[in-house]
Structure formats: structure tokens, C-alpha cells
Amino acid sequence: MKGMPPETCGMSRLDSAVGSMKDQDRPAGRERTVRCIDPRAMLITTFIYIAVVTSFEKFDLLGLLPLVIYPLFIMELNNLSPGAIGRKLLYVSPCALMIGIFNPLFDNRVVLHLGSLAVSGGWISFTVLMVKFVLTASAALILAAICGFDTLCVALEKLKMPKVFVSQLLFMHRYIFLTADEASRMVRAHSVRSFRRKGMKIKVFGSLCGQLLLRTLDRALRIRHAMVSRGFRGDVPLIRELKAGKGDTAFVFLWTAFFIIARCFNLPQLLGAFVMDKFA
């Protein structure tokens, strides 16, 4: 922001990130979806989809293309904005970029010619890796946006996942917001007490991180004592009924069949051969 101190800009960015996390968890617009598709069906289908996408060979870019249909279909069915999903993908895309960016350096064999342009195997494997990342991360983000984290934990418990695992997920999700709010308050306090317009120094940043750790440990201890005094014995009771119908079963089996067919057969190649035979 023009004319605003860097500390205030940093505070605004942190508050914006916390607000985005909370918006992701709000149940607005989810009721229609939950009534249509059982969260367990969505969870199982998403896991199968991710497993199928990651099983493709590192040069099989053409075979991955039909699997784009699933996230696009689910987004259209639930009126999700592709732009919102894309912005969230940008936050984690550097991880995938750092993993695959060196592929063109290690594999410089020319495997394809596009006119006068020679394409190496490293660039193809890098492209396949990024496509896999976009597809799998999009599927996970869509699942979270549709069902919500608490509902997903209920679905995991109904699918006989260990209660300790489900409880840890719930605690992590619940208290990450408290930690983010605490960090936001600390940055805000620093910004109003600092009269310099320069960015936060490393020494100050380290001090704030140490204080945040101490405050987090102190709050965690107080929360534990409060929960134990109220009868907490290691698991969080999740009281919500989930009813799966024939439509949910059909949803899982039909999409799973499509994923398996797309994995076993190169559908774009078969379609191209069919069109060439038909119109040649």
C-alpha cells in the first residue's frame, strides 16, 4: 500500500492470509453439496483419483489429459470458482517447481521435435510433474472446499480410521487458527511500536518467533489442563450422522471405472486414431 510502513503492509498480508484460511473453513454453500454426495464417497473417490494420477509414467503427458475432467466436473457441479482454486495452488506451487526444475538439466535427451524445436525428456517429465501436482492438489482443495475439514474428519472416523489420528487432525486444524491469530497480534503490536519504515530485521523476527513458541506452549498447557478437567480422555467425539445412498455408491464406482480406463488405455491416442480412420 502506498505510503504505508512495511511493517503495516506485512501485518495486512498476515491478516489477509489468516482470513483466507478462515474463509476456506466456512460452511457457506456446502449444505447442498453434502446432501447430494456423501463426504465418504467424495473422500474415497479423491484418494483413488490421486493414486491413479500419481501412477502415470513420467513421460505420459497425453494419458493424463482425460483426468482433467474430474476436477472440472466437480467444480462445475458445486459452483466453485476455478480462479479461487488456482490462487491457492500458487501458494504451494514453489514446492513442486523446486522438485522438478532440475529435470531438464539431468535429462537433456531429445525425445520430441515440434517443427524446428527440439524437446528434451527433462522438459516433458517436468511438465508431467507439474500437471500431476495441479491435478492432485486441485482435487484435495476441492474436497476441502466442498466438505469442510470437520466433516472430512467425521468421514475418516466412519471409515474406521484410528481415533488418535482423527483427533490429531482436528486439534491441528482448530489450533492453527489460534496460532495464526497470536502471530498476527504480535506483528501488529510490533508495527505500532516501531517508528522505522524499514522491514523487520532478522533479529526482531527471531525474537518474535521465540515469543510465539513460548506463548503457544503456555496456551497448549492451559488448554490441556482445561480439557482434562472436563473429562477429556484422548479422543474427540464427533456427533454427526452420515447417510450414504445408492447415488453415492454409483458416484464412487463410475468415477473409479473412468479412472481405471483412463489409466489402462491412452484415451486421447485411441480417439485420435478413431478420428483419423473415420475421416481419412
Q: DSSP readout, the chain?
A: -TT--HHHHHHHHHHHHHHHHHHHH--TT-HHHHHHS-HHHHHHHHHHHHHHHHTS-TT-HHHHGGGGHHHHHHHHHTT--HHHHHHHHHHHHHHHHHHHTTHHHH---EEEEETTEEEEHHHHHHHHHHHHHHHHHHHHHHHHHHH-HHHHHHHHHHTT--HHHHHHHHHHHHHHHHHHHHHHHHHHHHHHH----SPPPHHHHHHHHHHHHHHHHHHHHHHHHHHHHTT--S-----------HHHHHHHHHHHHHHHHHHHS-HHHHHHHHHHHHH-
279 in the same domain as 231: no
Q: Is residue 15 included in any domain, yes or no? A: no
Domain hosting 175: range is 161-243
143 in the same domain as 46: yes
Q: Is residue 21 included in any domain, yes or no? A: no
Residue 253: the pLDDT is: 94
226 in the same domain as 88: no
Residue 258: the pLDDT is: 95
257 in the same domain as 177: no
Q: Is residue 220 included in any domain, yes or no? A: yes
Q: Is residue 69 included in any domain, yes or no? A: yes
194 in the same domain as 123: no
Residue 280: the pLDDT is: 63
Q: Is residue 279 included in any domain, yes or no? A: yes
Residue 254: the pLDDT is: 94
200 in the same domain as 63: no
Residues of the chain with pLDDT under 50: 1-11, 27-35
Residue 239: the pLDDT is: 62
100 in the same domain as 196: no
253 in the same domain as 234: no
89 in the same domain as 32: yes
Residue 19: the pLDDT is: 57
In the chain, how many domains are there?
A: 2
54 in the same domain as 113: yes
Q: Is residue 154 included in any domain, yes or no? A: no
250 in the same domain as 139: yes
177 in the same domain as 127: no
